[in-house]
């Protein structure tokens, strides 16, 4: 494992307790509570939003309210068959259950490399470490793929890496158009800001069980650095929590539904109308959990900022224009800071 850190999976298999660097301390985000109330986030049927023009008022209203209150909703009617989603989850589990040495072939190549297999990137000695392993890969633009980090095992995993993101990208593009129309903007207002060479990133998350589940987090509180993240949750084990008005709520596991999580780049572009929620992941004492997130980000050299039509006297500009927001967010996340506050005017 990079940096001589222990692998959390190995620690679980060996029955060791989490070392001090993993223990969550009291912070502005509160302590670990593994069973907060269920988040009443809506389930929205994408096919209904697309079926007729204009889309049904009831579905649009649910979307509007999800975007400005939770910044998160469950999406059905997305067109990806349940059997395919199951295949993605199974392949993810199989990859993480491989012997550690086999996975290490795909490890991050340096301590601050954002891609590959591993744990947290270390920014400071004080950083609390996450009880998880990840495999992070850039999928688009195609000429930036680092295929040496794309696992060849288990069988079919590479095929999933090629096919699944194409399906998700189609959904993302539709969502950006629907959100623009909802805010009475030109359909491509958001898509144009992300640019022709927008990034598409995959993150496969693996949370081994932990014998002290109330003392660690699988993933620290953060808001996503993306435009939008589409998350495929484990269909058996819950763990994702979302924060609203400084309280934590459990995100329900709904079979075959994908979780749509708005990221900071959409909050910036929409001048704060669409919210990017802070969320975290708790771990289970007995069961492992996996999840797969696919997210987009603006082209690295492209400046993003609030869409001009969303700035007026009543709603002054909330965020400055910013380039390469992903890097700002990543560092804040590891330090336990709220990234979007650093670009607020």
Ligand X SMILES: O=C(O)CCC(=O)C(=O)O
- Using CA atoms, how far residue 13 sits from 9, 16, 109, 134, in Å, is 6, 8, 25, 17
State in angstroms the smallest separation of the CB of 130 from Fe ion: 11
Residue placing its CB nearer to ligand X in the complex, 49 or 274: 274
Q: How far apart are CA 31 and CA 155, in angstroms?
A: 40
State in angstroms the smallest separation of the CB of 178 from Fe ion: 21
Q: Which two tokens stand for residue 339?
A: 């990234």
Binder of residue 205, out of ligand X, Fe ion, none (CB less than 5 to 8 A by kind): ligand X
Phi/psi of residue 112, each to 5°?
A: -110, 15
Binder of residue 267, out of Fe ion, ligand X, none (CB less than 5 to 8 A by kind): none
- Angle at CA 196, nearest 5°, toward 195 and 197? 90
State in angstroms the smallest separation of the CB of 3 from ligand X: 21
Q: How far apart are CA 63 and CA 68, in angstroms?
A: 9
Residue placing its CB nearer to ligand X in the complex, 49 or 135: 135
Q: How would you write 88-114 as a 3-class SS string?
A: HHHHHHHHHCCCHHHHHHHECCCCCCC
Residue placing its CB nearer to Fe ion in the complex, 71 or 306: 71
State in angstroms the smallest separation of the CB of 38 from ligand X: 15
Residue placing its CB nearer to ligand X in the complex, 67 or 259: 259
Interacting residues with ligand X (CB under 6 A)? 203, 205, 219, 224, 229, 231, 233, 239-240, 279, 281, 291, 293
Spatial neighbors of 100 by CB under 8 A, at least 6 apart, are 1, 7, 9, 10
- Using CA atoms, how far residue 185 sits from 178, 273, 301, in Å, is 10, 13, 24
Binder of residue 271, out of ligand X, Fe ion, none (CB less than 5 to 8 A by kind): none
Residue placing its CB nearer to Fe ion in the complex, 224 or 234: 224
Q: Does 115 bind Fe ion (CB under 5 A)?
A: no
Residue placing its CB nearer to ligand X in the complex, 189 or 276: 276
State in angstroms the smallest separation of the CB of 290 from ligand X: 8
Q: Which stretch binds Fe ion (CB under 5 A): 10-18, 115-123, 124-132, 221-229?
A: 221-229
Binder of residue 318, out of ligand X, Fe ion, none (CB less than 5 to 8 A by kind): none
Residue placing its CB nearer to ligand X in the complex, 232 or 318: 232
State in angstroms the smallest separation of the CB of 57 from ligand X: 31
Spatial neighbors of 77 by CB under 8 A, at least 6 apart, are 45, 46, 47, 48
- Angle at CA 267, nearest 5°, toward 144 and 146? 10
Q: How far apart are CA 248 and CA 261, in angstroms?
A: 16
Q: Does 264 bind Fe ion (CB under 5 A)?
A: no
Phi/psi of residue 192, each to 5°?
A: -65, -35
Q: How far apart are CA 116 and CA 136, in angstroms?
A: 5
Q: Does 224 bind Fe ion (CB under 5 A)?
A: yes
State in angstroms the smallest separation of the CB of 158 from ligand X: 21
Binder of residue 231, out of Fe ion, ligand X, none (CB less than 5 to 8 A by kind): ligand X
**Footprint on this chain of Fe ion (rule: CB under 5 A):** 224
């Amino acid at each position: 494992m990079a940096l001589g850190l222990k692998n959390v999976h190995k620690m679980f298999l060996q029955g060791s307790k989490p070392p001090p660097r993993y223990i969550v301390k009291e912070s502005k985000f509160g302590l670990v509570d593994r069973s907060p109330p269920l988040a009443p986030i809506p389930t929205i049927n994408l096919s209904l939003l697309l079926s007729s023009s204009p889309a049904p008022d009831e579905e649009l209203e649910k979307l509007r309210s999800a975007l400005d209150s939770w910044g998160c909703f469950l999406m059905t009617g997305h067109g990806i068959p349940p059997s395919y989603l199951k295949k993605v989850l199974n392949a993810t589990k199989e990859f993480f259950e491989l012997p550690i040495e086999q996975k290490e072939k795909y490890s991050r190549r340096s301590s601050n490399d954002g891609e590959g297999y591993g744990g947290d990137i270390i920014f400071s000695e004080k950083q609390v470490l996450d009880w998880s392993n990840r495999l992070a890969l850039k999928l688009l633009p195609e000429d930036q793929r680092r295929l040496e980090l794309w696992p060849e095992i288990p069988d079919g995993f590479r095929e999933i890496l090629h096919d699944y993101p194409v399906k998700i990208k189609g959904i993302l593009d539709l969502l950006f158009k629907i959100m623009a129309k909802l805010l009475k903007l030109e359909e491509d207002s958001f898509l144009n800001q992300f640019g022709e060479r927008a990034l598409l990133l995959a993150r496969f998350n693996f949370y081994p069980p932990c014998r002290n589940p109330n003392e660690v987090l699988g993933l620290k509180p953060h808001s996503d650095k993306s435009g939008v993240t589409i998350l495929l949750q484990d269909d058996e084990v819950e763990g994702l929590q979302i924060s609203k008005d400084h309280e934590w709520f459990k995100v329900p596991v709904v079979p075959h539904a994908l979780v749509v999580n708005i990221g900071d780049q959409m909050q910036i572009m929409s001048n704060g109308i669409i919210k990017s929620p802070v969320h975290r992941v708790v771990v289970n004492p007995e069961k492992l959990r996996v999840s797969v997130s696919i997210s987009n980000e603006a082209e690295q050299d492209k400046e993003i900022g609030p869409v001009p039509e969303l700035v007026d006297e009543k709603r002054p500009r909330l965020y400055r224009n910013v380039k390469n927001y992903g890097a700002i967010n990543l560092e804040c996340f590891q330090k336990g800071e709220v990234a979007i506050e650093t670009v607020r005017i």
